[in-house]
Homo-oligomer: A and B are copies of this chain.
Amino acid sequence: MLFPMRDYYTPGEVAERFDLTLDTLRYYEREGLLRRVDRSPSGHRRYRADDVELLGLVRCLRDTDMPIARLREFAELVQAGDHTIHDRLDVLQRHQDRLDQRIAELRAHQTAIQHKIDYYVGVLADNAPRTVEETS
C-alpha cells in the first residue's frame, strides 16, 4: 500500500503523498495552515491522520488559488472546534462560487483566443494555395 492507514506519518511520506517539498510543508505549518504538528522524542514531526486529511483539503484549495491568508482563516476555524462548521461551509461555498466565475472567465478568454487562432489559420489558408501554385 502506498499510503497505509497508520497513527503517524513522517514528513517525507506526507510530502511525497501531496507532492510538496519539506520546506513547503514547514512553511504551511509556520503560516498556521496546520496546527502545531506532533513531534517524535527526537523532535521530528509526526503527522496524524487528521493532519493529513486537512492537508489534502489545503492542497485542493491552494491548487485552486485560494490565498494563504484565507487558508489560515479556514485553519483557524477548524481549530476553533465544531461550532465553526457553518463558517467553514461559508468559506468553502464562496470559494466554489469564485471558482465558477474563474472557470467561466477562462472559457470566455479561451473563446476569444480561438478567434485569433481561426484568423491566423485563415491567413495561412489564403497564402498556402498561392505558395503551392508558385512552387508547381
Contact = CB atoms under 8 A, between A and B. Distances in A.
Interface of A: 57, 60-61, 63-64, 82, 85-86, 88-89, 92-93, 95-96, 99-100, 102-103, 105-107, 109-110, 112-114, 116-117, 120-121, 123-124, 127
Identify whether the interface residues of A are mostly helix, strand, loop, or mixed.
helix
A62 to B, nearest CB: 9
Contacts of A85: 120, 123-124
A108 to B, nearest CB: 9
Given A92-B117, A117-B96, A120-B89, A63 B103 contact: no
Name the 6 nearest CB pairs between A and B, nearest first: A64-B109, A60-B109, A89-B120, A92-B117, A60-B112, A99-B110
Contacts of A60: 109, 112-113
Nearest to A123: B85
A63 B109 contact: yes
A67 to B, nearest CB: 15
A92 B99 CA distance: 24
Contacts of A99: 106, 109-110, 113
Nearest to A53: B116
Contacts of A117: 89, 92-93, 96
Nearest to A64: B109
